[in-house]
């Protein structure tokens, strides 16, 4: 066997392990997403019932206004609708990356309240969510309900009339004995697969009306944006000052102290050489050797400080190569799933590098995970990072590590989303504005223009 064949044979088990584990992880992640979607759909049915009650209250009050007795009750009915809409905003904010801010209270007067754009959008949302939202939620829940029913059908089929028992098979066969009742369980995996396929999509369909109609107006978004940028700027300045203090401590406590020791050792060596005796010469050689060792240590510490400022691997190689090095150094087995090698701005890649480094450090210290996956993708001029581990979950966003990650991401006007339920898995999603950059070779080729074809010289 040649060396190349031996290397390929050594890589095959690891590649197969990664493929098999990635498939299992995808099924596990899809199952978690399905359970989350079902929970979201159940909550949507609840808010749909509340929206239906609030809408009926508004309609009844409006009909009473025609008789002249409902005018004093209309502001209270609109405030009830606002309370239901605020409940839906809070629910959507828990599931959606962007928080939906509630508008200010509706005006006191009836005419001003009806002319208020948020009140009109809430009325439209109540009509859509009270009808379509409830219908979508009920349809989505029929699949898991039928799956449970078919899986346990053999335990209670005999209490049903003959016609009702046969209806459980959708008319495909008649249920008249235990074997035919046990065969109904074959339908349960199909219904579970349909649930895993349709539940996330139907949850997004149910949320569409709330995300479209319950968002605040552009004025509220602008004021919120200004406040967020102000807070982000203050956090960036604090993080910058903390980084400068860290570098100063690293240089003062490490490199500077070792350089002072080198200076003292060289001074001792010079004094020993001035005496020009055999014993002092040996002492001078010992001092010089110690000075050389200390200087090498100081150089190593200085390189470590430089790497913590901007890793050289990002300049020499791509972000995927740098993250692969981080994954190889992580105590927890880690797989890096990177897309095509596209470069982003240097500051964005450095932030992505430090985000993944801190995330993997948290995985190694706190998660008790067996595996971790780092995914890197470029979508619509944005760099998307995803770090997943199968640990115990329960990550605290207020911890210093995750707070540092959030501040780094917000400094680039990015998004930070952490999902870490008790029992795991922990999923960290980070999105950074990453305008794609072309390599220097591509830029030189573009500036040189189209390639010239050789031809004959004229005259």
pLDDT at 6 over 80: no
Find, among 311, 291, 289, 302, the residue nearest to 254 by Cα. 302
Question: pLDDT tens across 354-369, in order?
Answer: 888 888 888 888 888 8
- φ, ψ for residue 454, nearest 5 deg: -65, 145
Under DSSP, the state recorded for 102 is: P
Q: Six-digit token pair at 375?
A: 């995914």
Under DSSP, the state recorded for 451 is: P
What average pLDDT is seen over the chain? Answer: 75
- Helix locations, 68-133, DSSP H: 74-95, 110-115, 117-128
Distance between CA 335 and CA 375 in Å, rounded? 8
pLDDT at 118: 84
Residue for token digits 């004995």? Answer: 177
pLDDT at 390: 87
Distance between CA 136 and CA 203 in Å, rounded? 8
Question: pLDDT tens across 132-188, in order?
Answer: 999 999 998 888 888 888 888 778 777 677 666 666 666 677 777 777 778 878 888
Alpha-carbon separation of residue 440 from 122, 343, 437, 456 (angstroms): 53, 11, 9, 32
121 contact partners, CB below 8 Å, separation of at least 6: 213, 214
Distance between CA 367 and CA 390 in Å, rounded? 8
Q: Dihedral, CA atoms, 18, 22, 23, 26, nearest 10 degrees? A: 180
> Radius of gyration of the chain from Cα atoms?
33
pLDDT at 113: 74
Alpha carbon distance, N-terminus to C-terminus of the chain: 63
* Contact between 382 and 432 (Cβ < 8 Å): yes
Global confidence as pTM = 0.48
Question: pLDDT tens across 304-326, in order?
Answer: 666 556 666 676 777 888 888 88
Question: pLDDT tens across 235-280, in order?
Answer: 666 666 666 666 667 666 676 777 777 777 787 777 777 776 656 6
Alpha-carbon separation of residue 451 from 438, 441, 442 (angstroms): 19, 14, 13
* Contact between 353 and 314 (Cβ < 8 Å): yes
Top pLDDT among 23 and 372 is at 372
Cα 25–Cα 28–Cα 32 angle in degrees, nearest 5: 135
Question: pLDDT tens across 427-445, in order?
Answer: 899 988 865 554 444 434 4
Cα atoms in the 13 Å half-sphere on the side-chain side of 337? 14
Distance between CA 295 and CA 222 in Å, rounded? 55
Alpha-carbon separation of residue 147 from 140, 142, 192, 225 (angstroms): 12, 8, 6, 46
pLDDT at 230: 66
Distance between CA 387 and CA 429 in Å, rounded? 7
- Asked, as a colleague might, if the bond just before 46 is cis with ω within 30 of 0, I would say no
pLDDT at 72 over 70: yes
């Amino acid at each position: 066997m040649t060396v190349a064949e031996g290397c390929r044979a050594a890589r095959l088990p690891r590649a197969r392990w990664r493929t098999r584990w990635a498939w299992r992880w995808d099924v596990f992640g899809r199952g978690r997403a399905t359970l989350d979607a079902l929970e979201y759909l159940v909550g949507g049915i609840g808010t749909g019932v509340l929206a239906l009650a609030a809408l009926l209250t508004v309609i009844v009050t409006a009909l009473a206004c025609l008789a002249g007795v409902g005018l004093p009750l209309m502001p209270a009915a609109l405030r009830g609708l606002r309370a239901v809409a605020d409940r839906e905003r809070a629910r959507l904010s828990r599931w959606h990356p962007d928080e939906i801010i509630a508008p200010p209270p509706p005006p006191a007067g009836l005419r001003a309240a009806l002319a208020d754009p948020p009140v009109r959008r809430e009325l439209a949302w109540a009509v859509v969510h009270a009808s379509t939202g409830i219908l979508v939620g009920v349809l989505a829940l029929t699949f898991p309900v039928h799956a449970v029913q078919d899986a346990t059908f053999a335990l209670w089929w005999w209490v049903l009339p003959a016609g009702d028992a046969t209806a459980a098979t959708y008319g495909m066969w008649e249920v008249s004995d235990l074997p035919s009742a046990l065969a109904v369980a074959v339908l349960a995996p199909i219904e579970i697969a349909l649930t895993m396929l349709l539940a996330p999509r139907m949850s997004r369909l149910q949320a569409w009306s709330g995300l479209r109609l319950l968002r605040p107006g552009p004025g509220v978004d602008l004021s919120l944006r200004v406040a967020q940028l102000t807070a982000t700027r203050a956090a960036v300045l604090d993080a910058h000052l903390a980084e400068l203090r860290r570098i100063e401590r690293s240089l003062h406590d490490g490199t500077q102290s070792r350089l002072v020791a080198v200076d003292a050792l060289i001074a001792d060596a010079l004094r020993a050489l001035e005496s020009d005796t055999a014993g002092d010469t040996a002492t001078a050689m010992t001092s010089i050797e110690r000075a050389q060792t200390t200087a090498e240590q100081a150089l190593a510490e200085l390189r470590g400080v430089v790497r913590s400022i901007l890793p050289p691997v990002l300049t020499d190689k791509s972000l995927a190569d740098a993250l692969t090095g981080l994954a190889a150094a992580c105590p927890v087995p880690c797989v890096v799933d990177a897309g095509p090698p596209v470069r982003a701005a240097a500051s964005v890649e450095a932030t992505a590098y430090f985000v993944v480094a801190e995330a993997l450090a948290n995985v190694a210290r706190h998660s008790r995970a067996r595996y971790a996956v780092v995914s890197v993708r470029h979508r619509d001029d944005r760099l998307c990072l995803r770090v997943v581990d199968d640990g115990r979950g329960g990550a605290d966003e207020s911890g210093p590590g995750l707070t540092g990650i959030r501040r780094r991401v917000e400094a680039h006007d990015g998004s930070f989303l952490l999902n870490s339920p008790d029992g795991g898995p922990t999923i960290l999603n980070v999105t950074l504005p990453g305008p794609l950059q072309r390599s220097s070779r591509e830029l030189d080729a573009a500036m040189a223009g189209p390639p010239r074809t050789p031809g004959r010289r004229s005259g």
